[in-house]
Amino acid sequence: MLKRTCTLSLLVIAAISTTKAQDDSFRLGIKLAPNFAWMRSDSKDLQSDGNRLSYSFGLTGDLKLNAAGNYFFSTGILYNNIGGTFKADGTYDLNGTTTTVRSQQDLKLRYIEVPLTLKLRATSEKPLSFYGQVGFSAAFNIRARTDATTTLTVGNNTSSASLDDENVIDDIALFKASMVVGAGLEFALPSGTTLFGGLTYNNAFTNALDGDAKNLNATGKKSRLYADYLEITLGIFL
């Protein structure tokens, strides 16, 4: 599914961009975006514990929806690194013995992401223009690793263990859906290229965890963890 989605997205962008030589209905660009990512939870056993500084990059494309050029369908294909630190704490009964698990995780996730948004641009005669965009994104996990320190207390006995760059991709859901909201500026150069920059917020509404995620929670039960990020969007339309 992941391979088919990536291939289809590239073919769509390539096919539409061939019309650029004939008209200005499509703009193809390159984006590089540092981001501040974090893990958000609504489960009692998981608690967000810090941000992660990372980045995304890839192709972006705008399909003009009206002659004036202030409405666009914006999409692309992006290689996205996100994640964050969180705590996993839980206490439960194991064969009549009180068992406590306390773990601190630094989760590192990689996705192939396809945004699907509507962009509204305030056009003017000046080179500088403002834009806002809103929509959704579909992302597919391709890598998941964690650094973790876990303390296990069974009755009066306590033990600790550490994981260093441990592969936890089996604990992460393949698909991630998010809401996307952004705003920024575009600056048109005399050469015909356009520089753009702004802020984009990606708010996940699907659970990042798959199954019981035994390596990432403290109770062995289904927990909910969401991968959000805020990016500084930088790029150029060619």
Q: What percent of the chain has pLDDT over 70?
A: 87
Q: Which residues contact 159 (CB under 8 A, 6 or more apart)?
A: 151, 152
Q: What pLDDT score was predicted for residue 103?
A: 86
**pTM greater than the 0.75 cutoff:** yes
**Model pLDDT for residues 52-76, shown as the tens digit of each residue:** 999 999 999 999 999 888 999 999 9
What is the third-level CATH fold of 2-237? Porin (2.40.160)
Residue carrying structure tokens 């769509």: 12
For residue 11, pLDDT beyond 90: no
For residue 22, pLDDT beyond 70: no
**Model pLDDT for residues 123-180, shown as the tens digit of each residue:** 777 799 999 999 999 999 999 999 999 888 887 788 888 889 999 999 999 999 999 9
Burial class (CB in 10 A: 0-12, 13-18, 19+), 208: buried
For residue 221, pLDDT beyond 80: no
Q: 3-state class of 69 per DSSP?
A: coil
- 226 vs 47, more confident: 226
For residue 9, pLDDT beyond 60: no
**Model pLDDT for residues 114-124, shown as the tens digit of each residue:** 999 999 999 77
